[in-house]
Structure 1
């Protein structure tokens, strides 16, 4: 099978900035108004043609965008609340009818969840838990007003996002989205598509997702997401994934598949485990799935998050479908001069980062290193301490990698106080905010010069 041709975004050498939309929510205001437009304008001025985001989904108290109750719904907290409604009632009803395939299940799910005091759906009354038509119809009548309010919030989100995407396109900035491979246990997906997951007769997970011990956690990471019943997905022609990816393609120009290695094999942990150490690898039908996606969604540009335990089989799967992988400079300094994360080992078909949302900021990372490790970095760069951050940024931008992405914190040289997430911890993450006035014209000029110097813009 020949590899598919690259699309308009991934076929050109580019640079981007990683910033979750939530980081623009300051002073109690949402992100989808003037702040996001100003950020896009700054990117264009600085020669960055990609804005990489994290999932835009509604979140729980932890704030994690990877604990998705719905991967299609938008987070109402991101709304520009000062913006007028995007149309009249007829416009709203027409949009609602057009989006009914995902919307009606979602808004009913949220209304029922509130009515049930936030209890997970498998603890709801049996007729609702098991989606008996009469019970759902009665709930839709009983909860008509909160359902309508939730639908209106999604209408406003969708229209504001479309307007933002048009603004980005007008400035030559592409939107790079992120799709978690898994969903939350208490999610509309597990409630509606129960047969697609490894759930018991009550709807609770029989086994959960995680990863074995790695760089981030010595006990592994116990994510707790329900695992897919891949045999059911194959029997169904992967329709669940075609819907999921198709909806995301309407929102983004490029899409990162989080935990791509889970399409080749996934870490299965028995439900009730306290750590991920007792898990095992199980095969997944990645070739069959991606073949179907390629056939049905040929325009979709994908990037594979291929970090962690990566085998030859995962590499073969990624390359067979011509999906760029990821390299993270912070992972490169283990003393192995052929470490694939080092720039001299990069290839064109990757996205290179100083760090991701799961890493410390690069300044914070360097400050936390042992004296031996700091010396190794300095010798590699041939730079003193005060020049290390700038040198690492230049290394990523100068890499042969087709796309280079810098977290917004690294543009500003921020330390660990600006770290976004600490893997393996549930609370205290995702709270960093970026005042857009920190992105100045001189800073834009500095990065535009670098992006031109290294051929990432004309």
Structure 2
């Protein structure tokens, strides 16, 4: 395996003038930064269209892209909008944070203008796009159009005829909402056109993209509405059980995620085709796929629908190696990283090893016990070593507030940290110098930022997914620093 390294930063965190990171010039500049820094990977979070709560792990579709990432300047270059259409709108007052409420109002205004100006111009391209994405696009566009028709409420609260997908209702809404349906198809065309151009540029410059597949889909999603037979729902399409994590030392009531659970028996009868499609489509977007909550394929914690906590859940066996054998049979040797964090058992470890997928090691977790598997001297070569992830505090936040005194002292001793080097650089050196074939740090840790730059506080709503890097912080000096460290540990 080739020794290499990369940086974890979501598209939303890129700098720029219009409220959120996009597929525009700042994304291309970040690719240049990665190349100049000797990096070979850019890891991002799921690219799906976020809903209430703004989490990229709770999207309206497992296949559709997030319209927020469409770049206005590229649309202007294509003649779809003029600068006056977007330049004076309010997308938020903070350079380093996303204001989703303002973005929701004003980004969508501009995209509507682009759509209206596009009519009659892209007929051939849209027809081809629809044909290539027939698997999911038609259901998604109808879902979004009907959702707008019912003032954005969850599909569970739509009129029964369309909620239950009666044929006459679908035909009626396809006629009634044709323009709105065409709008959502066009928006997805723009998303994939701009993303493909960015990915091509990254690949041409030796940068591979690591993307993320959440194990579950959102309750309010086109996936469940259009394919209820693949989920554990009753005849009224209401979930019977939902996802979560059991109580542990971090939470006495567990974590209640609330995503509907798969009907794995139904999926197996169809040779896991829905999952095969999902992985195949993801591999069009990314060079490597990280599957979130991998342990859920061996056994998952399911909680009765309607419970307020995860305490009354139970462990239920997942598809195990059967799913991954079918993936290999149908898709070949796909590049997958197993997010094997959390409650691990011998069975989960065996499943990961049987697949051959690399697991994850988090250096920030390494200093709380004796001879932790997250200590670099215990790493197998076939793993991806991280300083931390989007769900962790930053290194400096951990050092200053969330890490225990004994942990901090052990980290200092183990890594031989010096005041001049600093805690963040020391932990980056720790994973870069490890035997892991791939080392990743977050952009926040590379910049040595504190708790305020944390991306996500799991099981909380509000204030997450908002961090953005400032343009001035992505510079040649920083690229030279990370290049020198990368060269030193033979990861260039």
Q: Does the TM-score normalized on the shorter chain lie above 0.5?
A: yes
Retained in 2: the 8 A contact 1:356–1:407? Answer: yes
User: More deviation in 200-209 or 169-178?
Assistant: 200-209
Distance across 2 between alignment mates of 1:137 and 1:165 = 37
Retained in 2: the 8 A contact 1:179–1:258? Answer: yes
CA change 1:25–1:136 in 2 (3 A) is: farther
Residue 411 (1) aligns with residue 446 (2): yes
Q: TM-score, normalised by structure 1?
A: 0.94
User: More deviation in 326-335 or 373-382?
Assistant: 373-382
Distance across 1 between alignment mates of 2:265 and 2:130 = 33
Residue 187 (1) aligns with residue 187 (2): no
Counterpart in the other structure of 1:12: 2
Retained in 1: the 8 A contact 2:16–2:26? Answer: no
- Equivalent residue for 1:357, pick from 390, 403, 419: 390
- How far has the Cα of 1:299 moved from its partner? 4.2
- Which secondary structure state, in structure 2, belongs to the residue aligned with residue 83 of structure 1? helix
Distance across 2 between alignment mates of 1:298 and 1:309 = 29
- How far has the Cα of 1:370 moved from its partner? 3.2
Distance across 2 between alignment mates of 1:299 and 1:373 = 39
- How far has the Cα of 1:164 moved from its partner? 0.4
Distance across 2 between alignment mates of 1:16 and 1:383 = 22
Residue 377 (1) aligns with residue 367 (2): no
- Equivalent residue for 1:340, pick from 334, 354, 373: 373
Distance across 1 between alignment mates of 2:30 and 2:247 = 37
Distance across 1 between alignment mates of 2:482 and 2:249 = 31
Q: TM-score, normalised by structure 2?
A: 0.88
Counterpart in the other structure of 2:310: 276
User: More deviation in 139-148 or 381-390?
Assistant: 381-390
- How far has the Cα of 1:389 moved from its partner? 2.1
Distance across 2 between alignment mates of 1:224 and 1:88 = 40
Counterpart in the other structure of 1:7: none
Counterpart in the other structure of 1:103: 137
Displacement over 6 Å in runs of 4+: none
Provide the aligned length of Structure 1 versus Structure 2.
446
User: More deviation in 289-298 or 217-226?
Assistant: 217-226
Counterpart in the other structure of 1:456: 491
CA change 1:240–1:126 in 2 (3 A) is: same
The superposition leaves residues 270-311 of structure 1 with CA deviations (integer Å, 9 ceiling, x where unpaired) of: 112222122111001121100000110114210100000011
CA change 1:24–1:408 in 2 (3 A) is: same
Distance across 2 between alignment mates of 1:286 and 1:12 = 29
Identify unmatched segments of 5+ residues in structure 1.
1-10
Distance across 1 between alignment mates of 2:418 and 2:45 = 34
Counterpart in the other structure of 1:137: 171
The superposition leaves residues 368-425 of structure 1 with CA deviations (integer Å, 9 ceiling, x where unpaired) of: 1233332222222232455322211101111100110100001100000100000110
Counterpart in the other structure of 1:34: 25
Give the superposed CA RMSD: 1.5
- Which secondary structure state, in structure 2, belongs to the residue aligned with residue 281 of structure 1? strand
Counterpart in the other structure of 1:122: 156
Distance across 2 between alignment mates of 1:214 and 1:399 = 30
- Which secondary structure state, in structure 1, belongs to the residue aligned with residue 389 of structure 2? coil
Counterpart in the other structure of 1:5: none
- How far has the Cα of 1:92 moved from its partner? 2.0
- How far has the Cα of 1:216 moved from its partner? 4.7
Residue 61 (1) aligns with residue 49 (2): no
Distance across 1 between alignment mates of 2:368 and 2:333 = 38
Retained in 1: the 8 A contact 2:16–2:471? Answer: no
Residue 402 (1) aligns with residue 449 (2): no
Retained in 1: the 8 A contact 2:362–2:387? Answer: yes
